[in-house]
Amino acid sequence: MAYDSIFKTDLFAGQTIIVTGGGSGIGRCTAHELAALGAHVLLVGRKVDMLKQVAAEIVEDGGKADWRVCDIREEETVKHLVSELIREHGPIHGLVNNAGGQFPSALASINQKGFETVMRTNLVGGFLMAREVFNQSMSKHGGAIVNMLADMWGGMPGMGHSGAARSGMDNLTKTAAFEWGYAGVRVNAVAPGWIASSGMDTYEGAFKAVIPTLREHVPLKRIGTESEVSAAIVFLLSPAAAFISGSTLRIDGAASLGGRAWPIHKAQNSESYNGFHRAYLPDVLQPDAPKDKE
C-alpha cells in the first residue's frame, strides 16, 4: 500500500522539507505524504525510537527520510541542527513547524514553570526553527513555512498556556510573512480542531472522558483525520499557494464558529478523507474503549 494523496506524485521532487515533531501524530502523517510526493523529508524531534520508526516506514514505502534528535527550545542546538542539515542536504525548501505539546489544566492551577514550558515548546521553538531556516537557507533561496496552531479563537479553557502560545504563533506567522516576503519566503499556518491522532491517547481523567463526545460539538458531526490536516499543509507548501502568505487555515469542521444559541442538527453527507495507509484510530476513540469517569 502507499499514501493515497490527492496531489501529483512528483509535486516535491528534488525538495528537502523539515518536519518537526515528525515522530508521531499529524507530523508523522505529513512526513509520509510529503515523502510520497517526492520530498526528502528530515524528521526532527526528541524521541529517537519514534523518529527512527517513522523514517523506516517512509523508506519501506519507497520514500526518502532522515532524522535528527533536537530540543527545538534550545537556541544554540537549533542553530547547529539547521547548519548540519544544510551541510548534508543542501537548501531547505520547506519547514513544517509541527512540534508542540501541552497538558490540560485550569489557569489557576498552572505554575510558572508549566506555563513557560508550554510557551517555549509551542511558540519559542517554532520561532527558533523558522528564524534559523530563514537566516541560513531561505533568505537566499526562498521557500515555504507552515506553522501549527490550534482552535484557540474563543480562548482555550483548560489549556490556557497552549492557547496563549498558539495565538502568539498566529501573529508571528503574519509578521514573518511580511518581513520575509521579499526573499520569496511564504509563511502560513494551519489551525486543526479535534483530530483523531495519537496525541488523544496521552490524556487521562476527565479530559479523556470528554474526547469521544467532541464530535457532537462539530457542525460536520465528526472528528477530523490526520490526512485532512496533512493535505492542507501540503497545499500551503505547494506552488498552488504561491500567492498565499500570512494566512491561517482552520481545519475544524466549523467547530470554531457559531454559538450555543444555534443548534447543531443531525449530520448527513459528511465523509472524512483518510489517505494515510498507516493511520490508526486512537485507543480513546475505539468503539469498545473503556470510559474513564475520574
* pLDDT above 50 (res 293): no
DSSP H or E run through 86: helix 75-89
* pLDDT above 70 (res 52): yes
More confident residue, 262 or 157: 157
Give 276-285 pLDDT, tens digit per residue.
898 877 877 7
* pLDDT above 70 (res 290): no
* pLDDT above 70 (res 289): no
Q: What is the pLDDT of residue 291?
A: 54
Most confident of 97-111, 135-149, 267-281: 135-149
Q: What is the pLDDT of residue 191?
A: 97
Q: What is the pLDDT averaged over residues 225-237?
A: 97
C-alpha span between 239 and 119 (Å, rounded): 32
Measured in degrees and rounded to the nearest 5, phi and psi for residue 226 equal -60, -35
Q: Which amino acid, one-letter code, is at 96?
A: V
Q: What is the pLDDT averaged over residues 98-110?
A: 91
Give 148-206 pLDDT, tens digit per residue.
999 999 999 988 999 999 999 999 999 999 999 999 999 999 999 999 877 766 666 66
Measured in degrees and rounded to the nearest 5, phi and psi for residue 193 equal -90, -130
Label each residue of 250-279 as H, E or C: EECCCCCCCCCCCCCCCCCCCCCCCCCCCC
Three-state DSSP at 144 gives strand
Domain boundaries, the chain: 16-256+275-285
Q: What is the pLDDT of residue 274?
A: 86
* pLDDT above 80 (res 134): yes
C-alpha span between 286 and 289 (Å, rounded): 5
Q: What is the pLDDT of residue 62?
A: 97
Q: pLDDT band for position 7 (50/70/90)?
A: very high
C-alpha span between 188 and 173 (Å, rounded): 6
Question: Percent of the chain, pLDDT > 90?
Answer: 73
More confident residue, 274 or 205: 274
> Which residue is it, cell 483523531?
196
Q: What is the pLDDT averaged over residues 223-233?
A: 96
Q: What is the pLDDT of residue 63?
A: 98
> Which residue is it, cell 496533512?
230
Residue 190's DSSP bridge partners are: 148, 249
Q: What is the pTM assigned to this prediction?
A: 0.91
Q: Which CATH class is domain 16-256+275-285?
A: alpha beta
C-alpha span between 137 and 131 (Å, rounded): 10
Handedness of CA 176, 13, 42, 91 (dihedral sign): negative
C-alpha span between 248 and 231 (Å, rounded): 14
* pLDDT above 80 (res 259): no
More confident residue, 204 or 23: 23
